[in-house]
Amino acid sequence: MSSIPLTQNDIIFAIIGASVLFIIFRFVSVIIRLLVTRTSEMRFNPDQLDQVLLNCYTSFPIENLDFNGRTFARGTPIRITTTRKTTIEGQFIGTNQAELLCLMTDTSIIAQEIGTILEIQAM
């Protein structure tokens, strides 16, 4: 095996190439982290609450949720615990065919994937 001598230009080019690859990797990892976020929130204006709730009822038409042998009906105050150990309290709005649960907290309306929920408790 023969060794090839590296010039100063080769070393500088390698440093620049590694830096560019690192920046690209960091950018892609930040984008992926943002896209993987499981919880999506929609802030609402209290004056528009009726329209927002109508949209939620349309988007989440299934009124009952069966979870681990317990049934929760629309309007029930619930507390959910997610796989990330996040606890969310609010009023159950409904579910949909995409396996999303919708609940209204004091400040937000949240859609959460049912597959990421560990526990649901009635309050």
Instruction: Report whether pLDDT(5) > 60.
Output: yes
Rounded to an integer, the average pLDDT of 75-98 is: 90
What was the pLDDT predicted at 59?
87
Instruction: Report whether pLDDT(2) > 80.
Output: no
Residue 91: strand, helix, or coil: strand
In percent, the amount of the chain with pLDDT more than 70 equals 87
What was the pLDDT predicted at 46?
63
- Give the span between the Cα atoms of 61 and 95, in whole angstroms: 6
- Give the span between the Cα atoms of 72 and 121, in whole angstroms: 9
Mean pLDDT, all residues of the chain: 83
Q: Indicate the pTM of the whole model.
A: 0.58
